[in-house]
Structure 1
């Protein structure tokens, strides 16, 4: 009897131990499976997080997740082999941090785009008003039967309106540079996943740049008779800044643009800039020619930038030779007239002439050496004699003054 009881107890205890072991094995399995399921869930959340706040909350949740399962590290290492628990958790934490940085960048990009959209609306409106104003003035000038003085005032007002327009374009360029240089296109492409206002729906930068480039061509085409060299020098700076902005940021602006005609607009902008450069060069050369005629600077005729450079060299060589052969008042007067022009080139227009592809910096430097040479030898002889006479008179006056002082001292001591 006792033997039977012992056997029965042994069987019961064995069954109970087997059940406990099975439960323990099942519990380990459940821990491993639950970890994998929750880990996959966190990976999905990291991919879909939509704001900095939710990203920060997710990071805290992942920390708690780590705390809950770190005590099962050895158990989980077996299930995750060849990876380890620590590697998996570290990867999850790093990806959550990257996501936080990404959504913060996206949020900042969206703020910049919203700001830019408001700026573009303002620029578009202001440019439209200025274009309407200049068009009206242009029409009035063309149809005018007013006196020469009143017509001159209208032309001056027209030129001032163009100057305001150029100033506005430079401000627009600054805004484009600030906005798009700091724009992360990779992050920007992610914005659509988080915010339906992902692109500028109206007043688009690409379209506005296209319209500005087209209007600038029209201004250069239809206004040659009403603009002066100062205007073209200012436009050369605008053109340079505009083209520099487009060369640096055109790809980004193109990428951001929403419309289906982005490729066409970008291609047209490149074409417009080439035409703008050519017209600016042609009109600037004509303006220099008109300036020379007005100021009586009798350089050889020229029709292109290359011919202008040659004409200037020829003119300066001729004047230098005249000065060497026979310094005269007439030659000196010609120097003064030319220097009125050249001083502005040196001080204000060196860069502008280079931007307009009229005179390079190297060409200007070479011409400047000849202007300096002419200046050094152009002083008329009559003027030199007068200088010597005046200098001799001053020395004589000083000598007489010294003698009088000595005479007074001698008289006093006597």
Structure 2
């Protein structure tokens, strides 16, 4: 009997010990599972967070999770091998920080887009008003019977309106550059999230404004406007180059943001318009330069680009220098020099200087080359003063007379 009781006691003790061990095992398993579940939930929340505020609240949850399971670190280290509890928590915090930085960029981008949207609306309104003023002034000038002084004032106002409109066009593309000209690694994916359907701002498509600006400028340049000066055409040529350069920097991001499924169509459409604008601006600028030279009676070889323009200038100066060597006693060569020098120093280097540089019409090296040749041409072409000629003739006559007198004396 005692033996049976003893065996029963041992059995009970064994069962209790086994139950305790199993309960402990069950408890450890549940602890591990609860941690993993909580960790995965927080990881998903970090990944799906759509605002910095959400990330801030997740940081608090991460801190709470760490505090709750720190006492089980050894247990979790075994379960998380080859990683460990501390590494897992650091990885989660790092993931949260990375996503927070991305969300900060997106929110900043959205703020910039809101500002850009307001700016573009304002610029578009200004462009409409300035275009109307420009056209009205042009019509008024053509029909004007005002005095010459009044007409000159109207022309100045007209040109001022052109300059102001061009500055607005530059503001449009420069404003877009601030937002879209980003090349950092990973920016394109952020841009895609910024312009997701739920985040895209407004219904206006900036690509439409780009296309409209190109069309209007090309249409204006295509008209036979006799009021435009060489400087006007140079400025418009510079405007086109600047606009195209900026567009080429932002077009990838702009098309990604606004072209949607019509990216190829939009890209081809704007590229075609841009080429037409560039060709028209170039043709008009070089034609206006040619007309000015013709009016100034400076007959250069034909030119239609920067290379041929410099070649024409260089050839003209070289030939003029050679001609001046053959006409030392005439003023014709010097008159031609003064006409060219007035054009070169007064227009190319002064009045048009900034546009000549910005449009790459001439390089610094090319300008220096012409400058150096002009120094020699002036020295060669400058006519001898009439009194010097008289003096030389007198000296020659006296010399001849003296020689003849000496000859007669010796003969006598």
Normalised by the size of structure 2, how large is the TM-score? 0.82
Match status 1:217 vs 2:225 = no
Aligned alpha-carbon RMSD (Å)? 3.0
Within 1, Cα distance between the matches of 2:336 and 2:34? Answer: 95
2:385 match: secondary structure: helix
Instruction: Tell me if structure 1 keeps the 8 A contact 2:303–2:312.
Output: no
1:324-363 to 2 correspondences below 5 Å: 324-325=325-326, 326=328, 328-343=330-345, 344-347=347-350, 349=352, 352-353=355-356, 359=362, 363=366
Counterpart position of 2:43: 43
Instruction: Tell me if structure 1 keeps the 8 A contact 2:173–2:247.
Output: no
Instruction: Tell me if structure 1 keeps the 8 A contact 2:298–2:340.
Output: no
Instruction: Tell me if structure 2 keeps the 8 A contact 1:285–1:358.
Output: no
Counterpart position of 1:228: 229
Counterpart position of 2:409: none
Deviation at 1:179, TM superposition (A): 2.2
Question: Would you say how many aligned residue pairs link Structure 1 and Structure 2?
Answer: 383
Quick one: structure 1 residues 307 and 81, their matched pair in 2 at CA, closer, same or farther if it must change by over 3 Å? Answer: closer
Within 2, Cα distance between the matches of 1:281 and 1:371? Answer: 28
Match status 1:379 vs 2:360 = no
Within 2, Cα distance between the matches of 1:168 and 1:191? Answer: 27
Counterpart position of 1:391: none
Quick one: structure 1 residues 375 and 252, their matched pair in 2 at CA, closer, same or farther if it must change by over 3 Å? Answer: farther
Counterpart position of 1:207: 208
Match status 1:165 vs 2:165 = yes
1:109-148 to 2 correspondences below 5 Å: 109-141=109-141, 144=143, 146=145
Instruction: Tell me if structure 2 keeps the 8 A contact 1:173–1:242.
Output: yes
Please point out which of 186, 191, 194 is paired with 2:189. 186
Counterpart position of 2:320: 319
Deviation at 1:219, TM superposition (A): 1.5
Within 2, Cα distance between the matches of 1:77 and 1:9? Answer: 38
Deviation at 1:119, TM superposition (A): 0.7
Within 2, Cα distance between the matches of 1:120 and 1:174? Answer: 11
Instruction: Tell me if structure 2 keeps the 8 A contact 1:350–1:361.
Output: no
Match status 1:64 vs 2:64 = yes
Deviates more, 1:130-139 or 1:50-59: 130-139
1:270-285 to 2 correspondences below 5 Å: 270-285=271-286
Deviation at 1:83, TM superposition (A): 3.8
Instruction: Tell me if structure 2 keeps the 8 A contact 1:102–1:187.
Output: yes
Within 1, Cα distance between the matches of 2:10 and 2:386? Answer: 137
Deviation at 1:123, TM superposition (A): 0.9
Instruction: Tell me if structure 2 keeps the 8 A contact 1:120–1:203.
Output: no
Quick one: structure 1 residues 385 and 268, their matched pair in 2 at CA, closer, same or farther if it must change by over 3 Å? Answer: farther
Q: What runs of 5+ residues in structure 2 fail to find an aligned partner?
A: 392-412
Quick one: structure 1 residues 312 and 327, their matched pair in 2 at CA, closer, same or farther if it must change by over 3 Å? Answer: farther
Instruction: Tell me if structure 2 keeps the 8 A contact 1:210–1:265.
Output: no
Instruction: Tell me if structure 2 keeps the 8 A contact 1:327–1:378.
Output: no
Quick one: structure 1 residues 211 and 187, their matched pair in 2 at CA, closer, same or farther if it must change by over 3 Å? Answer: same
Q: What runs of 5+ residues in structure 1 fail to find an aligned partner?
A: 389-414
Within 2, Cα distance between the matches of 1:335 and 1:312? Answer: 13
Quick one: structure 1 residues 261 and 22, their matched pair in 2 at CA, closer, same or farther if it must change by over 3 Å? Answer: closer
1:381 match: secondary structure: coil
Deviation at 1:36, TM superposition (A): 1.4
Quick one: structure 1 residues 178 and 327, their matched pair in 2 at CA, closer, same or farther if it must change by over 3 Å? Answer: farther
Within 1, Cα distance between the matches of 2:102 and 2:71? Answer: 32
